[in-house]
Copies of this chain bind each other. A is one copy, B any other.
């Protein structure tokens, strides 16, 4: 039995693949790698974080622009959330089916940009005036994380 090297590189992610295929778009190595990475991440990651994490492996690093496009596509397809962190840099997180990150709150460090999950549930959503289209809402807690607080006393 003979399998091409290429096909083997996509095999280990059946759930990822079908989630992407379900959107009607093409399943590509870039999309699979990035989406899988977001699924395994501890918190929301920015473009830079992801570039670094991807460049570690054996596979050829994907193009900067392709990564931007993959991330925006994941967000547009509803597979990821996109939101600016406290420094104004966009961060992406997998849109888990159980909506875990949507239920609890997060702390955003204004120094390093880090996002930390807090074990507290979100306040309930408010009603909006006529004409406003709600996309997302969360309690946004900003400050300095323990790590950065140590460096800047």
Contacts and interface: CB of A to CB of B under 8 A. Distances in A.
Contacts of A86: 83-84
Given A89-B88, A118-B126, A126-B105, A140 B143 contact: no
A131 B149 contact: yes
Interface in A112-130: 116, 118, 120, 123, 126, 128-130
Interface of A: 83-90, 105, 107, 110, 116, 118, 120, 123, 126, 128-146, 149
A119 to B, nearest CB: 9
Nearest to A133: B144
A143 B89 CA distance: 18
Contacts of A123: 123, 139
Given A116-B132, A118-B128, 20 more contacts: A83-B86, A83-B142, A84-B85, A105-B126, A120-B126, A123-B139, A126-B141, A128-B143, A130-B146, A131-B145, A133-B149, A134-B141, A135-B143, A135-B144, A136-B142, A136-B143, A137-B139, A137-B140, A138-B139, A139-B140
Which 10 pairs from chain A and chain B are nearest by CB?
A131-B146, A140-B140, A84-B88, A123-B123, A135-B143, A88-B88, A133-B144, A134-B143, A137-B141, A84-B84
Given A84-B84, A123-B123, A118 B107 contact: no
Interface-centre pick from A110, A135, A136 (highest chain B CB count, 10 A): A135
